[in-house]
Amino acid sequence: MNKSKINIFLIFVFLFLFVATIGIIISMNNIDKQTKETTTLYTATVSRIEITDTEKNISAEIHTEEYDTSLLISTNICKKIKLDDISNLKSGQTISFRVENIKANQMNKVEFINLISLKTDTKDIFSLEEYNKYIHDSAYPARIASIAMASLFLLISLFLFFKNKK
């Protein structure tokens, strides 16, 4: 292949990477904008709690009497909340929680589902607003990196395009 064909191929590769990165940025847009309208409220009875601590990451699973799907509190959320509030949940205790509407139809079909909020009759363990803040904070570095990479891919594509034009 001559240099011109290699440059054209590389232009398309970097343009593809640019578009893919923009797609990632767009898909991340709403992850920290959950509302009562974008989530579904459930009530269940706790059967048991599992807290997984690998010293780097902590996550928690709540198993309920009503659902086969366990309720996962992700590492991003567990880092920000009091884990004692989770570990102090008792078997037979009633909890209310929210899941994303697009995942609500997966209850009893998947092994676990991420919680968007969690509360008991007496305490909010984490609210919808807190969830949005925690996820926003944890997604910020990925958003910055994605924007930087998209810009880099676009600049490389433009550089190769103008280099090829000469």
pLDDT of 6: 86
Give whole-number Cα distances, 51 to 63, 86, 125, 155, in Å. 11, 8, 15, 45
pLDDT of 2: 76
Half-sphere exposure of residue 86, counting CA atoms within 13 Å on the CB side?
Answer: 26
pLDDT of 1: 60
Q: How is residue 30 annotated by DSSP?
A: T
Read off the pLDDT of residues 57-110 as tens digits, 9 standing for 90 and up: 899 999 999 999 999 999 999 999 988 999 999 999 999 999 999 998 999 899
Q: Could you identify the residue written with the tokens 């780097």?
A: 56
78 phi/psi in degrees, rounded to 5: -60, -30
Tell me the pLDDT band of 5, cut-offs 50, 70 and 90: confident
Q: How is residue 116 annotated by DSSP?
A: S
Helix or strand (DSSP H, E) at 7: helix 3-27
